[in-house]
């Protein structure tokens, strides 16, 4: 039997970048196919349930849809190679996984869709060639692009808020750049789960579309190098002359990384708070059955949550998926001793992130047969 996995993914897709990077870094052999292949519709979709990428088919024919589930599959099978051992690093790694997959959609969508003079031809190429050459291909491309064109807006970037979203992104980029002056990865000398979460918005959109890629190259060379590095199997850190091979010892979380979280907390915390309140009201009014899907396709949502960020009012989709991943951070915290919990509270308190330990949905989300569903 072939040992090659098949990753249904596309170069320009945000979530694909996370699973692809994990496979590359962990030297798991794979080939990548777009969903335009007949096999996706016929063999994969019935088991994957939703037409989202990434979706993985293992050599044994198992279908795993969702980037977090793909990574979890290999983590469980291989003794959790990318999860730090210490509680502080574990929490920070899991938190970057949530922020990467869910907390940077505003800049990712803004810098892709709101600079058409630089980006549009490049993006159209990718949407077009993700499909086979059929008579409807051009028309379908336009339809797919139109569906995503307003993504920035539904994630909260409007004419009124775009300047603030850019300012915040640049502050984050500068802080991350300063961190990568110290280390090639978030927690030291090799990537952890958090690196894979963070690469999702930082590769296909912010590190590859022409406008934001140039911005990153010119303003944050170290971040650009990390994006390259995350797509290579080796450590790729020739600029570090003292490089180690592992995560930092003694459960250390570098101050430079806390500075990144401090910037990110400014919108991640109020958005999470507002989204939880909105979804909890929705849960109370709608009382979904146990087993009903809680998460759909990209931009599927039950409504918009409103919050204030640096004096601007933002309306953004309230997405249950954020809480599915946040549950994992909270589960790690719940499993710690009182002394360890106190250390985490101090750590997160120092970067404005304390509340992420307590903001919860009233119903838990679990995975059943490739879907995230509401628990009883």
Ligand X SMILES: N[C@@H](CCC(=O)N[C@@H](CS)C(=O)NCC(=O)O)C(=O)O
Contact residues for ligand X, defined by CB under 6 A? 13-15, 51-54, 66-68, 101, 297-298, 321
Q: What is the CA radius of gyration of the chain?
A: 20
- Smallest distance, ligand X to C-beta of residue 150, A: 14
- Smallest distance, ligand X to C-beta of residue 338, A: 34
Question: Using CA atoms, how far apart are residues 177 and 268, in angstroms rounded to an integer?
Answer: 20
- Smallest distance, ligand X to C-beta of residue 189, A: 26
- Smallest distance, ligand X to C-beta of residue 281, A: 23
Strands (E), the chain: 5-8, 30-33, 55-57, 63-65, 304-309, 312-317, 365-368, 371-374
Tokens of 200: 């999702």
Question: Using CA atoms, how far apart are residues 182 and 329, in angstroms rounded to an integer?
Answer: 26
CB closer to ligand X, 66 vs 251: 66
Q: Note the maximum CA span of the chain.
A: 64
CB closer to ligand X, 298 vs 302: 298
Question: Using CA atoms, how far apart are residues 296 and 320, in angstroms rounded to an integer?
Answer: 9
Report the sign of the C-alpha dihedral through residues 76, 78, 82, 86, in that order.
Answer: positive
CB closer to ligand X, 31 vs 297: 297
CB closer to ligand X, 13 vs 327: 13
- Smallest distance, ligand X to C-beta of residue 202, A: 13
Q: Answer whether 103's CB lies under 8 Å from 268's CB.
A: yes
CB closer to ligand X, 15 vs 180: 15
- Smallest distance, ligand X to C-beta of residue 300, A: 7
CB closer to ligand X, 53 vs 258: 53
CA distances from 125 to 12, 114, 130, 150, 367 (A): 10, 17, 9, 19, 34
């Amino acid at each position: 039997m072939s040992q090659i996995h098949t990753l249904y993914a596309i170069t320009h897709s945000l979530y694909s970048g996370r699973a692809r990077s994990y496979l590359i870094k962990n030297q798991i052999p794979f080939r990548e196919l777009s969903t335009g292949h007949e096999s996706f519709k016929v063999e994969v979709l019935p088991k994957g349930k939703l037409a989202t990428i990434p979706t993985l088919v293992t050599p044994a024919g198992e279908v795993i849809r969702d980037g977090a589930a793909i990574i979890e599959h290999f983590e469980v099978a291989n003794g959790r190679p990318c999860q730090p051992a210490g509680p502080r690093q574990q929490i920070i790694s899991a938190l970057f996984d949530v922020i990467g997959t869910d907390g940077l959609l505003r800049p990712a969508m803004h810098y892709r869709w709101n600079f058409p003079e630089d980006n549009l031809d490049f993006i159209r190429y990718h949407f077009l060639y993700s499909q086979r050459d059929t008579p409807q291909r051009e028309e379908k491309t336009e339809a797919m692009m139109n569906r995503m064109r307003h993504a920035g807006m539904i994630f909260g970037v409007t004419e009124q808020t775009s300047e603030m979203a850019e300012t915040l992104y640049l502050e984050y980029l500068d802080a991350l750049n300063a961190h990568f002056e110290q280390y090639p990865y978030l927690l030291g000398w090799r990537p952890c789960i958090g690196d894979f979460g963070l690469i999702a918005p930082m590769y296909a959109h912010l590190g590859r579309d022409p406008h934001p890629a140039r911005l990153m190259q010119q303003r944050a060379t170290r971040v650009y190098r990390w994006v390259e590095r995350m797509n290579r199997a080796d450590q790729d850190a020739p600029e570090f002359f003292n490089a180690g091979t592992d995560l930092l010892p003694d459960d250390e979380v570098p101050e430079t990384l806390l500075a990144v979280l401090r910037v990110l907390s400014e919108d991640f915390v109020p958005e999470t708070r507002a989204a939880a309140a909105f979804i909890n009201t929705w849960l109370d009014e709608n009382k979904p059955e146990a087993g009903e899907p809680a998460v759909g396709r990209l931009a599927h949502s039950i409504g918009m949550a409103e919050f204030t960020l640096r004096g601007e009012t933002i309306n953004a989709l309230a997405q249950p998926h954020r809480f599915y991943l946040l549950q994992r951070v909270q589960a790690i915290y719940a499993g710690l001793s009182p002394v360890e919990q106190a250390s985490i509270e101090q750590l997160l308190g120092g970067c404005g992130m304390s509340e992420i330990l307590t903001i919860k949905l009233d119903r838990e989300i679990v995975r059943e047969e490739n879907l995230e569903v509401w628990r009883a």
